[in-house]
Amino acid sequence: MKWGICGTGNICNDFSNSLQLLNHDDHQITAVAARDIDRAQKFAEKFKIPKAFGCYDDLAKEPTVDIVYIGVINFEHCRLSILMLNNGKHVLCEKPATLNLKELEKVLKVAKDKQLFFMEALWSRFFPAYEKVRNALDSKSLGEVRYVQAEFCHPMIHCEHVNKRELGGGGLLYIGIYTIQWALLAFKEKPDKIFAVGHLHETGVDQSATIIFKYKGGQMANLTYNTEFQSECTASICGTKGRIQLPYPFWCPTKVTINEEEMEFPLSSGEFKFNLVNSAGLSYEAECVRKCIEKGQLECPLFPHSESITLMTIMDEVRRQLGVKYDADDIEL
């Protein structure tokens, strides 16, 4: 499968490195694009990519590319996903897939109309530890799930892409999203009630929040994120017969404890330098996407479109309660 890389930042660097951990016959990068041709050329030189573009349109039209990985700033996700899909490219787009549900529905419609694969790159779901979590939930070894907890606190509000509203910033879309997906994995449905309270940065984006989910059967989720300081960043699922615990970093774990049994899944980064914790694990996601496309699937069963929709619906409501609004919220598509 021939990849095009849309962007040249840290996450694109790590994704490109992760592809080198996989079988070269299955994964090759044939083109990269950035807004600045110099950055694209330097990236291409580093990863030995044949073609570099200073325009995203050129990447969309590049015939050697089968699928595009989009790892640019949040507010560009919708536009670039549609651009690539309209030019016949499958798309793996970094989370959040878009800024709101309205944008997401537009992207998914284009993907369906074009009969192309699209997935929001929620890489957590592809780690072996998460597979063990799914198996435990499906087998009911925890009994009835009653309570879910997750916290993700990391100092990043000083970063421009996080603190600027016009760029689609805010803690929810960057790290809070991981706590919400954890609750969705456990309960498999949208909560009956959502309560969110938090603190806004002076720029109008969310700096921190605690989110409570309440379900009709009395089940609860307690989710916290903060962009000012570091916390333990752990997650758990508690049932009537047992519990699951994920240590730091719960969104990309190499360990999981299920009913007091600890399992470990070492992650090799080879000779490559990664920017983000455990991001060699992006390879799990990439390989799953390849297998889906090889089978002719238009979405991935481990993180289907329906779950992206539920996730975005919840995040829209959390933003509404916190008072965070993007310009895209007022645009008719």
Please write the tens of the pLDDT for every residue from 26-49: 999 999 999 999 999 999 999 999
Instruction: List, for residues 248-266, the tens digit of each pLDDT value.
Output: 999 999 999 999 999 999 9
Is residue 15 pLDDT above 90, yes or no? yes
- Mean pLDDT computed over 160-188: 98
pLDDT score at 269: 85
Is residue 245 pLDDT above 90, yes or no? yes
Of 81, 103, 124, the position where a domain reaches its end is 124
What is the CA angle 288-118-59, rounded to 5? 100
**Taking each helix axis from N to C terminus, what angle separates 37-47 and 10-19, rounded to the nearest 10 degrees?**
30
Is residue 219 pLDDT above 90, yes or no? yes
pTM over 0.95: yes
Is residue 287 pLDDT above 90, yes or no? yes
Indicate which CATH number applies to the domain containing 237: 3.30.360.10
Residue 163 shares a structural domain with residue 89: no
- Mean pLDDT computed over 218-247: 99
- Mean pLDDT computed over 177-199: 99
pLDDT score at 270: 84
- Mean pLDDT computed over 270-274: 91
Q: What is the mean pLDDT of the chain?
A: 98
> CA distances (Å), 298 to each of 27, 189, 262, 302, in order?
19, 22, 35, 12
pLDDT score at 333: 80
pLDDT band (50, 70, 90) for residue 6: very high
**By residue range, what is the domain housing residue 194?**
128-264+303-330
Residue 26 shares a structural domain with residue 117: yes
CB 304 within 8 A of CB 179: no
Residue 315 shares a structural domain with residue 176: yes
Task: Determine, yes or no, domain membership for 190.
Answer: yes
Asked which of 17-21, 300-304, 328-332 is least confident by mean pLDDT, the reply is 328-332
Residue 183 shares a structural domain with residue 323: yes
Is residue 332 pLDDT above 90, yes or no? no
